[in-house]
Structure 1
Amino acid sequence: MKRYSALLLAAGGSTRLGRPKQLLTVNGVPLVRHIAELLLATGPERLVVVTGGAAARISQALAGLDIVLVQNDNWETGMASSLQCGYRALGADPAPLLIAGTDQPRLTCDHLRALLKQGEQHRDVVAVYGEEGRGIPVLLSPATQPHLADLQGDTGLRQLWKNGATTPAFFHAPELGFDIDTPEQLDAAIRAGWIDQD
């Protein structure tokens, strides 16, 4: 892909987990930094990271990276405000947008590169985990991005395609269906070696 930007959603409060998932570590590296480094390794023109809860500690974990940090003061309202905050920070940039989050410890550079390759036809691309599961990482075409303004609360990206105006391409990655939202999921990730033991 010739040019694109990237957006990392790192604003969540991790209330079910009881601690900031962004600061869990992978081989000694905070998860938020690990994912940011994966995104940067794909070569985006810019990487915007949206913070909210635990913003100071997350910013510290990202120190020294070539990123644009944006604080979402309304992060507690849900994902929609973080998407909109990140999109505004990018300005009117007519380039595809690669979006990732901070709770998929199995995400790799290969996943992101395959997603970008699939998006070369100027289509949206969505990761599919199984029959019902789909979500981030996603690649949004320039035509779809303005519709981020229509999202509200904790409405996910799939709402963008519900009206059927456009149909995204699908990138199948069942392993990305594992995310970390609860202590039980964290324990499973530690047992599997995807997240460091405290």
Structure 2
Amino acid sequence: MQLVMLHGLYMHHTIMRPLAAQLSNLGWQIEGFSYNSLAIDAGLLFERLSALSRPGEPQFLVGHSLGGVLARRYAEQMELPEGSRIVTLGSPHKGAAIARRLAQWKLEGVMGNAHQHGLLTNPNDHYQGSAELGSLAGNAGIGVGRLLLPNEESDTDGTVLVEETRLEGFHDHIILPHSHTSMLFSSEVARQTDLFLRQGRFQQPE
């Protein structure tokens, strides 16, 4: 089955290769997908994603960070085939406190136009999409977010707060002991991603 993977801010699809290799070993045919994360054209991006959908087959997507936010917005604005599923990894679906801090400092320009595509706020508190969505969060707490948000006490992967990865209407949510970047190298993240894409559920830690 084909799996499209979307990278996060400042990245290229090559950052997804370690996780892609593990998912390939689990039977997925990986479609590398790059986009300009600093100059996002959502309409064009969604058209490109839609063009990758195979007639009569569900569409499967994995998005890391901003890539997951865009994958969610894609599912909310387009009618995906029945049985489609999405896994987002460390994605700030409620907007990111770290992005709001940069905006407070008048530094939102360092995010290009990404702050206009869900990094600052999300106007809806409920997922509106046509595909089942599973959100995976990390709580290792290692990352630049600890420097920009030194007084933040909420669980975090070091960049995105765990609470920012939740929306009502998601099919499942799981927290694993990883940082925002380390989840892209984790065999457990690959296993949990594969489980959700195939079954619509994560395996919750005991």
Decide: shared fold, TM above 0.5: no
TM-score by length of 1: 0.35
Q: Which has the higher strand share?
A: 1
The TM-score with structure 2 as length reference comes to 0.34
The answer to which structure, 1 or 2, has the higher relative contact order (CA under 8 A, 6+ apart) is 1
